[in-house]
Structure 1
Amino acid sequence: MKKIKTMLTPWLFLALPLLMYFVWVILPVFQSLLFSLTYRESILTQAKFVGLANFVRLFQDPQFYLALKNNSVWLTCFVLIPIPLGLAVAVLFNTDCRGTNVYKTVFYIPMTLSFTVIGTIWAWIYLPEYGILNVFLRSIGLGSLTRQWLGDKRYMTGALVAVGVWRQIPYIMILYLAGLKNVPSELIEAALIDGANFRQRFIKVILPLLAPATVMAVTISIIDSLRSFDAIYVLTSTKARAAEVLSTYMYTSAFNYQDYGYGSAIAVIQFTITLTFILIYVNKSLNKEIQN
């Protein structure tokens, strides 16, 4: 009896969190999959089963491919920009010099702000006439480079990606700072004794030991790029079709046009892409644990 009680106690504590996870995460996934196979004219009408018709329509939709292309831009920029910059900032701040804690806090501030606040700040920065960016360009004689950053479809995606990258860099910095704390000082001292300069120490000693942090940073950046919704919603209210990504296209299809089956189909595709990257990350992590 005591053994049974011991076995059941952890599950009693886990029961409520697991129930909430099932209701708010697992169940909606299956509901989205079910809804993607249906069509309804409005939320008040009965859903009709249409099979894979929504997916067939999706793969013939130019707007879907534009959203997929924009997501690819987000993904590429999130991997190529925040990771090296976050690593550089982490290496810079990985010292015991006076004031580094203050600088770390300042750099981390963007991660503590909600995207409503961030969107408001960047909307001011991007204002065509009085925005800080265009005013700065005019002040240094580069007035020809001023743009309507959120009003011109040629620059809209780039301007939105810049907001996301700005917020992502501090997160990557924290990941690498945690990784740098696990680098044995003995190895660095041995490299110093052997006459290795900073570049050699970084490439030959530090960077290989940061491989787990790099894998995590790349995976998180990919996942964050695929769910890039907040910045686009706050800065464009999802009305800018040229800057649309899968998440915003799902939102506008389901809630603006009340095409819930089509929106669910987009959600299923996005979920599948995201799950693929998560499984790759988990597989690499498990293989590394087995090797160790």
Structure 2
Amino acid sequence: MVAIPLVVDLVFIWGPALATIVLSFTDATGAAPIHWVGTKNYHTLAEVDPSFWPAVRHNAIWLGVFILIATPLGMLFAVLLDRGLQGSRIYQSVIFLPVMLSLALIGIIWQVIYTTNGGLLNTLLGHGDGGGVDFLGDPSINLWAVLVEATWRQAGYVMILYLSGLKAVDLALKESAALDGANGWQTFRYVVFPVLRPVNVVILVVTVIESLRAFDLVYITNQGGIGLQLISAMITQQITGPGNRIGYGSALGVVLLLISLVPIVAFLVQQFRKEDES
């Protein structure tokens, strides 16, 4: 029973990953013969390609917004709903609704909201007859516009994860803290939050993965327009665009893999070390 999923994992996960690493050292295009070029692709993306470092910066901003805004917001929603507010199931459904929708549909919805002429947001701002803010075409704000829709979805996802963790917290711990005179914040900070450590690990991994693989919203909402470049979008453009630069796109994929592994491995090592000490 273990052999079948192991083979599937090797064929569809590890196989393509290893093939990508090998192809990143070649000039593969899918048509012409493949030649070994060593680290030329990595040198090109680091020192020649003008889109690479802006894309890295945008991915870093995306990750920062998810960690500093979407995750605390989802946690806040979960804590409030865990207290049994009246109509909490309705609120939970409304907040979780974006997670149930496909990223493509979310992109289309926000594209309608952000439309310059006649869009919902520009209409509310008093620009319904034209001359509105170009949220998606202005390089200075289009990244933040897309991050609003990404945060809208991510907060609901984080909320469900934290809500499931909060439901599993032993009520006796909260009651003991209350008997010791702890207020609501102290109970959460020193009793509940440490118990949520496994959930925090899952949320960190999900947050890093979601921020780095972000592609659908950018492509649907802005078609990877000017001023809004991400590493994932660059990979698709290089592999499927003119010239089919599979080798160069593979190098970008390897860089994306390494960037995603650094925070995840560092955090997991820290968590395992704490568990060993305890």
Trace 1:113-262 onto structure 2 (pairs within 5 A): 113-138=101-126, 146-238=132-224, 240-257=225-242, 258-262=244-248
TM-score, scaled to structure 2: 0.91
Which deviates more, 211-220 or 161-170? 211-220
RMSD after superposition: 2.1
CA contact (8 A) 2:146 2:218 kept: yes
TM-score, scaled to structure 1: 0.87
Q: Are 2:105 and 1:89 equivalent residues in the alignment? A: no
Q: Are 2:3 and 1:22 equivalent residues in the alignment? A: no
CA drift of 1:19 comes to 1.7
| Equivalent position of 1:71 in the other structure | 59
Q: Report the 3-state secondary structure (helix = DSSP H, G, I; strand = E; otherwise coil) of the residue aligned with 1:242.
A: coil
Trace 1:52-63 onto structure 2 (pairs within 5 A): 52-60=39-47, 61-63=49-51
CA drift of 1:180 comes to 1.2
CA drift of 1:208 comes to 3.2
Structure 1 portions without partners, runs of 5+: 1-12
Q: Which amino acid in structure 2 is aligned with residue 254 of structure 1?
A: I
Q: Which runs of 4+ in 1 moved over 4 A?
A: none
Structure 2 portions without partners, runs of 5+: none
* Cα distance in 2 for residues equivalent to 1:51 and 1:187: 58
Q: Report the 3-state secondary structure (helix = DSSP H, G, I; strand = E; otherwise coil) of the residue aligned with 1:179.
A: helix
Q: Which amino acid in structure 2 is aligned with residue 137 of structure 1?
A: L
Structure ID, larger Rg: 1
* Cα distance in 2 for residues equivalent to 1:241 and 1:137: 24
CA contact (8 A) 2:208 2:264 kept: no
Q: Are 2:256 and 1:275 equivalent residues in the alignment? A: no
CA drift of 1:194 comes to 3.6
* Cα distance in 2 for residues equivalent to 1:15 and 1:29: 20
CA drift of 1:200 comes to 2.9
Q: Which amino acid in structure 1 is aligned with residue 73 of structure 2?
A: L
CA drift of 1:21 comes to 1.3
| Equivalent position of 1:36 in the other structure | 24
* Cα distance in 1 for residues equivalent to 2:45 and 2:246: 13
Q: Report the 3-state secondary structure (helix = DSSP H, G, I; strand = E; otherwise coil) of the residue aligned with 1:149.
A: coil
CA 1:203–1:157 in 2, change beyond 3 Å: closer, same or farther? same
Q: Residues 79-106 of structure 1: CA distance to partner in whole angstroms, max 9, x if unpaired?
A: 0011111111001100334422222122
For these two proteins, the number of residue pairs brought into alignment is: 274
CA contact (8 A) 2:204 2:264 kept: no
* Cα distance in 2 for residues equivalent to 1:114 and 1:268: 27
| Equivalent position of 1:8 in the other structure | none
